[in-house]
Chain A
């Protein structure tokens, strides 16, 4: 995979993450699930920021960034607190693997950025009841 292909794949992953977090946030309640709601909102904002950064990184190479799909399949029904938490955990786990792929396919500042993003996703998994892993970002 070329560095540009890895950036495009990561952007595609972030498009999906932003979409899913948008749905998860809409399905949660700020009054009844304040911690979960806050965690989902924080994650949504962070992934939207990453998506925008990736878009700029690709545009700077004179290439059109991969567009978002119209919709994405949710990891589960996303109805209960447990399902919302599990869906968020799945998003973080999958995007961690995508960032791992970016680290392995890039160098220099792109690799550094990918390492920081992978680190961020790995830690955020813990907020969604994830358990520490030996090698985050290595498995899909």
Chain B
């Protein structure tokens, strides 16, 4: 086999985050006057949104998708303790993915709670099937986000997240 590049996940993740943050910084520098305090007000008194780089937007959306999946698995695990052994690894994976994305999203969006509560089906089999459906949908969404990512390192990170989800889906019912 040809030699592979000596790149660790940690360095790539850090690189992706730095790239994401740097993209936001340079886009702000390039536009100069577009760099605004999110709480600052324009002349008519209406707060203006802060300029956010495209990859930060992608990261925020990815975090939202993973948080929704995390919430579903957590509440399902609480409602059906018998499923806990099968869901623990899934939850560990979601935590690792959120940790990897944490530095790429602004503090404000990090603190935003997930909006929609998840209703756990009463039948454990149906509940597990629902988790599989949600994970599959989330995976598809993150693939779309990986295609939108401008940073190659960030796209690779998101592709790794979807591949990890695919591995976990092997142990869940077919959606």
Question: Hey, which bits of chain A sit against chain B, CB under 8 A?
Answer: 9, 12-13, 16-17, 20, 72-73, 75, 90-91, 94, 96-98, 100-101, 103-108, 111-112, 114-115, 118-119, 121-123, 125-126, 132-140
Contacts and interface: CB of A to CB of B under 8 A. Distances in A.
Chain B interface size, as a band, is 20 to 34
12 contacts: A9-B2, A97-B4, A97-B5, A107-B147, A111-B146, A111-B147, A122-B167, A135-B96, A135-B161, A136-B167, A138-B7, A138-B157
Contacts of A119: 159, 162-163, 166
A17 B163 CA distance: 20
Interface stretch (B8-16, B25-33, B60-68, B72-80): B8-16
A2 B88 CA distance: 40
Contacts of A123: 163, 166-167, 170
Interface in B67-115: 89, 93, 96-97, 100
Given A104-B152, A137-B160, 14 more contacts: A13-B2, A20-B1, A97-B5, A103-B152, A104-B155, A111-B147, A112-B143, A123-B170, A132-B167, A134-B9, A135-B100, A137-B156, A137-B163, A138-B160
Contact of A132 (B1, B12, B147, B164): B164
The 5 closest A-B pairs by CB, nearest first: A140-B4, A104-B156, A135-B160, A104-B152, A122-B163
Of A101, A134, A139, most buried by chain B (CB within 10 Å of CB) is: A134
B168 interface: yes
A132 B159 contact: no
B153 interface: yes
B153 to A, nearest CB: 6
Interface of B: 1-2, 4-9, 12-13, 89, 93, 96-97, 100, 143, 146-147, 152-153, 155-157, 159-164, 166-168, 170
A122 B168 CA distance: 10
Contacts, number: 114
Nearest to B156: A104
Contacts of B168: 132
Contacts of A135: 9, 13, 96, 100, 157, 160-161, 163-164
Given A133-B167, A138-B12, A139-B7, A16 B147 contact: no
Contacts of B89: 132
B8 to A, nearest CB: 6
Given A75-B1, A98-B4, A115-B146, A138 B167 contact: no
Contacts of B97: 134
A126 B166 CA distance: 11
Of B5, B100, B155, B160, most buried by chain A (CB within 10 Å of CB) is: B160
